[in-house]
Amino acid sequence: MKNRKRNRLKGYDYSKDNLYFVTNCVKNNLCCLGCVIPVGAGRDLPVHHPENHHPEIQYEVELNQYGKIVDERIQWLISQYQYVNIHNYVVMPNHLHLILEIDSQKVKEQDVKIKSLSSLMGAMKTTSSNKIHEAGFVDFAWHRSFHDHIIRDEKSYANIFNYISNNPNNWHKDKFHKRD
């Protein structure tokens, strides 16, 4: 049996107060959560091919019913776990990016156990998958794991925040973006 690559930093406590950059992909990179469209002027321009990308136009993700479920489940994390804050996120056609903060200082009760990043992402993935299955997409699945990065300084935070915010504008460069 092949050894799996370790996804998390060995010995690091992922329930520790910190900022985490997370990327999670749909299984097989299936584009099933929505599409990227131009905003405002130029809305009628197709964006299926890189040569049709217009850098002067801003793009946004138009979520379908499944993408809206994922969006709602990200918001659910904030309401479900008082120590979770989401600084920025985007749901793309086949993946999501977010900056998740664990802040134990927000906990009011003493007996609240702080979940790890893996447990929090597992909760989001499980509940979103269940709701997407209930909505009729019974074959929907997330990749088994997710990519994370511990944000250690303000420069890294700013770069990641901007990367997330600009992700729809860069969709045409995404290696998993299906081109007609």
Report if residue 57 sits inside a domain. no
Show the domain range for 152. 18-33+64-164
pLDDT digits (tens, 9 = 90+) for 123-157: 999 999 999 999 999 999 999 999 999 999 999 99
Q: Is the pLDDT score of 21 beyond 60?
A: yes
**109 pLDDT tier (thresholds 50, 70, 90):** confident
Report if residue 49 sits inside a domain. no
Report if residue 56 sits inside a domain. no
pLDDT digits (tens, 9 = 90+) for 37-50: 888 655 555 555 55
Looking at residue 18, what is its pLDDT? 97
What average pLDDT is seen over the chain? 88
**161 pLDDT tier (thresholds 50, 70, 90):** very high
Looking at residue 122, what is its pLDDT? 97
**168 pLDDT tier (thresholds 50, 70, 90):** very high
Q: Write the CATH number for 85.
A: 3.30.70.1290
Looking at residue 130, what is its pLDDT? 98
**4 pLDDT tier (thresholds 50, 70, 90):** very low
d(CA 140, CA 130): 9
Looking at residue 103, what is its pLDDT? 97
More confident of the two residues 175 and 22: 22
Report if residue 121 sits inside a domain. yes
Number of domains comprising the chain: 1
Looking at residue 1, what is its pLDDT? 43
Average pLDDT over residues 20-31: 96
Average pLDDT over residues 62-83: 97
Report if residue 51 sits inside a domain. no
Looking at residue 38, what is its pLDDT? 86
Report if residue 100 sits inside a domain. yes
Looking at residue 39, what is its pLDDT? 83
